[in-house]
Amino acid sequence: MGTTEIMSYEEQRRRRLEENKKKLEQLNLPHLSVALRGAVASPKASPAKQIKRKMSRDASLTPVRRSVRVAGLPEPNYREVASDFVDRPRRIARVSKRRGLDDRVYASDEAREYAQTKAEEVEAGLDPKFPSFVKPMLQSHTTGGFWLGLPVIFCNKHLPKRDATITLVDEKGDESDTIYLAHKRGLSGGWKGFSVKHELVDGDAVVFQLIKTTTFKVN
C-alpha cells in the first residue's frame, strides 16, 4: 500500500468520526449519558414508593380508627399468657354401705329345717278354704334387694293377672301395702318395710294365707 493510499484512508476515517460526532450532538446523547451516570451514582425512589413511605410514617403517628362501641375499651392483649390454676375442690367419693349388710344373719341348715317344719305345722292348722303356702326367707328377701318372689303356680292360680296392690296383715292385725308385679310373680315396693318392721332374717319361714283376692294373712 502506497503513501497516497494511506493518507486518503486516514482522511476518510477522520471525516466519518466528525460526521458521527455531529449526529450525536444533534440527538443530545452526551447529556443523556451524563444524566444516566448521575442516576446510577445516587438512585432516587420512585414517586409511588415515596408516597407509600410517607403514608407509613404518618400511620405510625396517627391513632387507629375504632368503632364507637369499642372506643372506650382497653387495648386488647394478644400475647399468650399462662392461665391461672384454679384449685377446684375435689369430689370426695363416699362409700355407702347397703343397709343391713353388717347385721346379716346366716342361718344353718338345721335352723332352716326347723323353721320350715314349724311353718308347715302352722299352715296345717289354717282353714283349708283359704289357699296358703310357706315361703323360706333368704338374704335377698330380708337384707339385700328386698324382692320377694312368690310360687309361680300359686300366682297363676290365685293372684291377679295384672300389677296390683296386695295388703299384708300380720298376727297383730296391722296392715302393710305392697306392690305385686304380675309379670314377675313377686312383691316389690312395700315388702322391704314389712320385712324390716318384723325383723325377718335369713332362715325364717313365713306362712302366707290368701284371705281375700288381694290380701294375705302373714304368720
Residues in the chain: 219
Asked whether 176 and 168 are in contact (CB, 8 A), the reply is yes
Largest Cα–Cα separation, the chain:
174
- For residue 35, the model assigns a pLDDT of 62
Q: What is the pLDDT of residues 134-181, one digit of tens each?
A: 999 888 888 877 889 999 999 999 999 999 999 999 999 999 999 999
Q: What is the pTM of this model?
A: 0.52
Is residue 126's pLDDT more than 60? yes
Torsion of CA 111, 114, 115, 121, to 10 degrees: 180
Summary mean pLDDT of the chain: 75
The H or E element spanning position 47 is helix 47-61
* Distance (Å, whole) CA 92 – CA 69: 47
Q: What is the pLDDT of residues 53-88, one digit of tens each?
A: 656 555 545 555 555 555 565 655 444 444 344 444
